[in-house]
């Protein structure tokens, strides 16, 4: 379980395709002495299991299933990756509850500068439109964000300067893809009401 508050932007050091699944080594400023083999880390929003630890890096495996549902198949050497270790008892819940189970991929249709902030616009994913609401939460590349406006065709989120500069958002362009995870509270309310 995660909060959607990015703790570091890591960098892909290597991609190993020799074992069937892909193994990514990710360089990080996180204290690797506090990371255990088997720990869960959110990598661009995907809950991945640590399988090896280096001096200033850790490695994770991504299965074909994960690659088919996320942007991880686009990671290459030097790709920048949002990182968040799993939530521990007593940690501040600064964003919203994020499971790390990606619902799919969204393509950025527009980026608009609004003062010092940026507004990202996405086409509305048809299967999830009933789960995206104004002032609701959504996780994009593992970042907890508030939905600002919603129409039948699209929705938008506002990115403040701190988030823009301390995540991999600043390297994104129109046409780039992002992992998304619907707010689990919205999912359970919809289930109770018979909407899914």
Yes or no: say if 138 and 124 are a contact pair by the CB < 8 Å rule. Answer: no
3-state per-residue secondary structure call for 123-169: ECCHHHHHHCCCCCEEEECCEEEEEEEECCCEEEEEECHHHHHCCHH
Residue 106 has what pLDDT?
97
Structure tokens at 58: 């850790």
pTM attached to this predicted model: 0.93
Residue 195 has what pLDDT?
66
Computed from CA positions of residues 2, 100, 177, 11, in that sequence, does the dihedral angle turn out positive or negative? positive
Q: How many CB atoms lie within 10 A of CB 77?
A: 9
What domains can you pick out in the chain, each with its CATH number?
A: 8-85 (2.40.30.20), 104-192 (2.40.30.20)
Q: Rounded distance, CA 76 to CA 35, Å?
A: 23
How does pLDDT run across 45-66, given as a tens digit for each residue?
Answer: 999 999 999 999 999 999 999 9
Yes or no: say if 86 and 60 are a contact pair by the CB < 8 Å rule. Answer: no
Residue 18 has pLDDT above 80, yes or no: yes
Burial of 153 (0-12, 13-18, 19+ CB in 10 A): exposed
Residue 196 has what pLDDT?
59
How does pLDDT run across 161-173, given as a tens digit for each residue?
Answer: 999 999 999 999 9
Q: How confident is the model at residue 87 (pLDDT cuts 50, 70, 90)?
A: confident
Least confidently predicted of 18-32, 120-134, 147-161, 180-194: 180-194
């Amino acid at each position: 379980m995660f909060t959607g508050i990015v703790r570091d932007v890591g960098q892909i050091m290597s991609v190993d395709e020799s074992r069937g699944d892909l193994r990514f080594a990710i360089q990080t400023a996180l204290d690797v002495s506090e990371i255990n083999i088997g720990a869960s880390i959110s990598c661009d929003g995907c809950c991945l299991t640590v399988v090896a630890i280096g001096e200033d890096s850790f490695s994770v495996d991504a299965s074909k299933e994960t690659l088919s549902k996320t942007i991880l198949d686009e990671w290459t050497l030097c790709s920048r990756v949002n990182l968040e270790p799993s939530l521990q008892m007593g940690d501040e819940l600064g964003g919203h509850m994020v499971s790390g189970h990606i619902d799919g991929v969204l393509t950025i249709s527009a980026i608009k500068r609004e003062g010092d902030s940026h507004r990202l616009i996405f086409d509305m994913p048809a299967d999830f439109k009933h789960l995206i609401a104004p002032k609701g939460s959504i996780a994009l590349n593992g970042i907890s964000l508030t939905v600002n406006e919603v129409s039948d065709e699209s929705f938008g989120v506002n990115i403040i300067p701190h988030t823009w500069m301390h995540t991999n958002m600043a390297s994104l362009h129109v046409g780039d893809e992002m992992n998304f995870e619907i707010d689990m509270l919205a999912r359970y309310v919809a289930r109770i009401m018979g909407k899914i």
